């Protein structure tokens, strides 16, 4: 998929008929950049209508080694040209699904409390692909209340970590806690390859909140064997905890 095809798909996802503008709130975010310490994250103000970066924080060059002036001049098209070709189609599908979910499921008066996360690989200034986890919060909306200007935070991880392309949508509730309303994995069905039938049985029982002892009784195996299977499942799926696995599968039953 070339840059023109990416641009066409991206424009269809974020199609709008309103020219956005930066608010005083956005200007204050930009002004704060000078006081932020250098670390493995950076942020940008993104404009989905002009396919441009309204602002790029000082950490960007330190994180991925790209020229911020060139990135601002050439915009998103230049950034897309650095994306790993294997991730592009999955990334576009994730963006489209998140937009459809928002328009179909989130009331207009609550969209300003949503935040969206997805990941992909980018070629850095040393021509190495690194993992990017992007979290974007909408700041400006068009006349149809579709998000068009966002505050995007990027966390950079080394290439050693394998990360399937995933996305999520979270809502800031009245307790000021983020609730995950949507999750999907686009690399493959999580349980399609490498998971044995016995491990699949254990996962289904874990989703029912069964303990290792209860699973062992149900499957006529020892609790130690169940625990061994649980460790193997987490290792195969590159997930850090059973809670993360269960939460992921409860949000997306198609992965079973």
**DSSP character string of 133-173:** EEEEEEEEE-TT--EEEEEEEEEEE-TTS----EEEEEEE-
What pLDDT was estimated at residue 183? 84
Model pLDDT for residues 131-188, shown as the tens digit of each residue = 999 999 988 887 777 778 889 999 999 877 778 888 999 999 888 888 888 888 776 5
Give the Cα separation of 183 and 116 in Å (integer). 10
Domain ranges of the chain: 3-185, 197-255
Where the chain has pLDDT below 70, the residues are 16-25, 187-193, 247-256
What pLDDT was estimated at residue 195? 78
Asked, colleague to colleague, whether 3-185 and 197-255 share their fold, the answer is no
Query: What interhelical angle do 223-237 and 212-219 show, nearest 10?
Result: 110
What pLDDT was estimated at residue 146? 74
Cβ(119)–Cβ(206) below 8 Å = no
What pLDDT was estimated at residue 187? 61
What pLDDT was estimated at residue 63? 93
What pLDDT was estimated at residue 134? 96
Class of domain 197-255: mainly alpha
The residues facing 46 across adjacent strands are 53, 150
Cβ(131)–Cβ(163) below 8 Å = yes
Record the pTM: 0.69
**DSSP character string of 29-67:** HHHHGGGSPP-SEEEEEEETTTTEEEEE-THHHHHH---
Fold of 3-185: Beta-Lactamase (3.30.450)
What pLDDT was estimated at residue 158? 83
What Rg value do the Cα atoms of the chain yield, rounded? 20
């Amino acid at each position: 998929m070339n840059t023109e095809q990416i641009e066409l798909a991206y424009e269809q996802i974020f199609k709008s008929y309103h020219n956005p503008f930066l608010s005083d709130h956005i200007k204050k975010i930009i002004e704060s950049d000078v006081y932020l310490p250098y670390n493995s994250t950076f942020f940008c103000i993104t404009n989905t209508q002009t396919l441009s970066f309204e602002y790029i924080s000082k950490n960007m060059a330190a994180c991925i080694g790209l020229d911020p002036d060139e990135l601002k001049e050439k915009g998103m098209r230049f950034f897309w040209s650095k994306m790993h070709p294997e991730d592009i189609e999955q990334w576009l599908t994730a963006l489209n699904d998140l937009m459809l979910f928002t328009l179909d499921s989130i009331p207009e008066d609550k969209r300003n409390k949503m935040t969206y996360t997805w990941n992909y690989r980018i070629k850095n200034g040393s021509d190495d692909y690194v993992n990017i986890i992007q979290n974007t919060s909408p700041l400006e909306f068009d006349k149809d209340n579709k998000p068009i200007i966002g505050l995007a935070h990027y966390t950079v991880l080394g290439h050693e970590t394998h990360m399937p392309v995933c996305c999520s949508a979270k809502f800031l509730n009245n307790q000021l806690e983020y609730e995950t309303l949507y999750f999907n994995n686009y690399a493959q069905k999580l349980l399609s390859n490498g998971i044995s039938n016995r491990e699949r049985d254990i996962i289904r029982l874990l989703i029912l909140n069964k303990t290792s002892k209860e699973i062992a009784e149900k499957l006529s195996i020892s609790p130690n064997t169940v625990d061994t299977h649980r460790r193997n499942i987490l290792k195969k799926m590159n997930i850090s905890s059973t809670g993360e696995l269960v939460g992921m599968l409860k949000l997306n039953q198609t992965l079973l």
